[in-house]
Structure 1
């Protein structure tokens, strides 16, 4: 009988800093049966080794589609099935269609607007001398960018924040379900408005119109699922990347000094943040579509599997002295954005926003420092980020 590691036994310490627990698990082996902490509290497999995690992320035997195992999870789901919950050929079709609209050129074209929004936020923030970085910069920048990109009206953004927070880091399953219902209703109405308005410059309007070479188009249900993924993944991860990047720099003054001396290290600082304290703690669930083994551990058909991105990114077998934050490190090979066919579509946008936000903040606030302890870490094991970060300058 497989021993089960009860992650609940570590209490709030695991939520605040899971890395010592992951290190302990890695020393015992790369794969473990675990009991998840609240709000989930059920058993699953957890992969914590880098080599095993990278292989699992690209293993077609680990399915993202629970319907392959007879699940009716998406029946009546207000958001419906989306790209993070399907396999080829369905995933290939959806990703191909969205990639026709969400191009690298579109992301790069947003650079001036991202800088403009950042400057506007800093203009409002800096005269006060102190602020909660999440409220003043880390949250409003990505939400403004993704909402402008997708064509979400300005007046809807406050409601959107409440929905998204409960979707990715809910306190209870009931909160998660309420968020899904609210998202489903909102996105149904938004897509209907886009269809009625006809062709537009925003990404969602283009997704309504985009067609494959064979004339294939996204259905309304697929559009809802696509918009849900793009809105959530397009801002929640970036909020936490910016906040964690600033937090890491302020708690490692030697690295902050290096960056201030040479802002050419900014790209390395963002990549090291992704490795050291990335915004996604574990990848979304996979299911064993057939019996298989990972590092000699047998998975039965139907077993649920979590891939620990944060755990893998601090594996000493992949990164030398992994618990050291080093902006000069060659961080290539980290798994913060996943690997394989589900590699994060929005990675270039997240990197661009983080570089602009952190670089602009450091240039305009040369005496930036922590202004007290940070807020609590978000609950659950999906996203990794701080609720608040008090800073002064």
Structure 2
């Protein structure tokens, strides 16, 4: 791994506007200790701020929602490192990089142009609105089962809501959706937690990734033998149909596996953080919870405002400049890496007003967030995540209307990541801590 190229972004590339004085690159904290502080710093840096990723890899961070929207709809921005990131192509950044998994993956999530169109069409054929809608009763059942388990715990003792509810709910839903056997589910979620942690050492990441692909190889083999009514079987059926009909560019085995990695990880990791942050926001803003209870706001408002205020993924990784990108005050040179600061965009005062830092369910711009991305890579699973969030919140507060935090909010520890944005634990007391579960 060559880390000397961290110096590259400290000097203005030839022929490009120099960065404003005093704007040296700052390294995103792999432990995610100050997500919003870093987001504010990116916002203050103008249309694009120079940053360093782990091990000195240079990039630009963008937090202005209008600039992000423009970039995510521009053909001058790619997610395909193999085509458009010279540092990756030339081996300056290699497979030993701690974030290499998210760069090397070959699926619609990293594809560019016609390749992306082909893969997204295939996958969206399996991930239909009908399938999402059919999951609604499943989500409700899982939520109630988890709440039954919490209710059966000893009264008066703190319950870690992330471990007991926010985590297991999307884990069970996404595993049910993809037909993952019960025996593999807990291990899969543990692996995803480790892979989303930007503080995990590169060697550990490689070991975890190897085990993850081993589990998914087994899942694909199982579904080829005994297909079911699940997304893995649907993707395999699409692949088989293509091969049988001799269609050009059938879904390759690696693309199939990488698609599973991305869907399973995104469906789990982002939804656990959404439920975690939404619950925390409502418990620390009782006036906002009261708006829902009195019919002045809806659970969906809480979900949208949470996605704006504390998005489940703080930063969208990684994109690359296909050509020089002129952003007015600064030019992002062709081949440079880009990070979209969704957390930064969510609190942009130009869009959300001077009180953008405040959690407000009645905010007119609460739906104007970029938590699910934008443009051709907009999240296919957004309707499912929203439905899970609304179901989880409404069931939780109906069952335990007196729910409170068991510790001061300031003592909660963030997940060790600058991508995944959540708490390591969310200890709560049921019924205001009176122990009447």
Give the TM-score, by structure 2 length.
0.83
Query: Which deviations, in whole Å up to 9, do the C-alpha atoms of 1:167-199 show, x marking residues without a partner?
Result: 1114222222222211222211211221122x4
Alignment check: 8 A CA contact 2:30 2:418 kept:
no
Q: Where does structure 2 lack aligned partners over 5 or more consecutive residues?
A: 1-10, 12-18, 431-437
Residue 46 of structure 1 is aligned with which of 61, 64, 74? Answer: 61
**Aligned-partner Cα distance in 2 for 1:4–1:148:** 47
Distance 2:117 2:210 in 1: 27
Check whether the contact 2:47–2:330 (CA below 8 A) recurs between aligned residues.
no
The 1:263–1:133 alpha-carbon spacing in structure 2 relative to 1, beyond 3 Å, is farther
* 2:351 match: secondary structure: coil
In structure 1, distance between residues paired with 2:427 and 2:343: 24
CA contact (8 A) 1:52 1:295 kept: no
Q: Is the 8 A contact 2:291 2:297 kept in 1?
A: no
1:340-379 pair list within 5 angstroms = 340-373=375-408, 375-379=412-416
Return the alpha-carbon distance in structure 1 between the equivalents of residues 379 and 246 of structure 2.
Answer: 26
- Partner SS for 1:286: strand
Shift, 1:75, TM fit? 8.8
Asked if 2 retains the 8 angstrom alpha-carbon contact of 1:6 and 1:35, the reply is: yes
Q: Find the counterpart in structure 2 of residue 390 from structure 1.
A: 427
Q: Indicate whether 1:118 and 2:143 are aligned.
A: yes
1:384 is displaced (CA, Å) by 0.7
Q: Which residue of 1 aligns with 2:434?
A: none
Query: Cα offset for 1:268?
Result: 0.5
Instruction: Give the match for residue 358 of structure 2.
Output: 324
Is the contact made by 1:56 and 1:307 (CA closer than 8 Å) also made in structure 2? no
- 1:334 alignment partner in structure 2: 369
Q: Is the 8 A contact 2:30 2:416 kept in 1?
A: no
Deviation at residue 380 of structure 1 after TM alignment: 2.7
Structure 1, unaligned stretches of length 5 or more?
none
Note if contact 1:269-1:328 (Cα within 8 Å) is conserved in structure 2: no
Paired position in structure 1 for 2:202: 173
Query: Alpha-carbon deviations, 1:281-309, whole Å to 9, x = none?
Result: 11120011122222431122211111111
Deviates more, 1:172-181 or 1:264-273: 172-181
Within the candidate set 200, 205, 214, 1:185 is matched to: 214
Alignment of 1:1-393 (within 5 A): 1=11, 2=19, 3-7=23-27, 15-36=32-53, 39=54, 41-69=56-84, 71=88, 80-128=105-153, 129=155, 130-170=158-198, 171-197=200-226, 199-210=227-238, 211=241, 215=247, 217-262=250-295, 265-320=298-353, 321-330=355-364, 331-373=366-408, 375-393=412-430
SS state of the match for residue 114, structure 1? helix
CA RMSD of aligned residues (A): 2.3
Q: CA deviation at 1:263?
A: 7.8
State the number of aligned residues: 387
- Give CA-to-partner distance per residue, 1:65-115, whole Å, 9 cap, x none: 011136458999988412221112111111101111110110011100100
1:161 to 1:21, Cα distance in 2 relative to 1, 3 A? closer
**2: CA distance, partners of 1:355 / 1:91:** 31
Cα separation, 2, equivalents of 1:228 and 1:146: 12
**SS of residue paired to 2:349:** coil
Q: Name the SS of the counterpart of 1:85 in structure 2.
A: coil
Compute the TM-score of the two structures, normalised by the length of structure 1: 0.92
Cα distance in 1 between the residues matched to 2:379 and 2:395: 25
User: How many Å apart are 1:56 and its aligned residue?
Assistant: 1.3
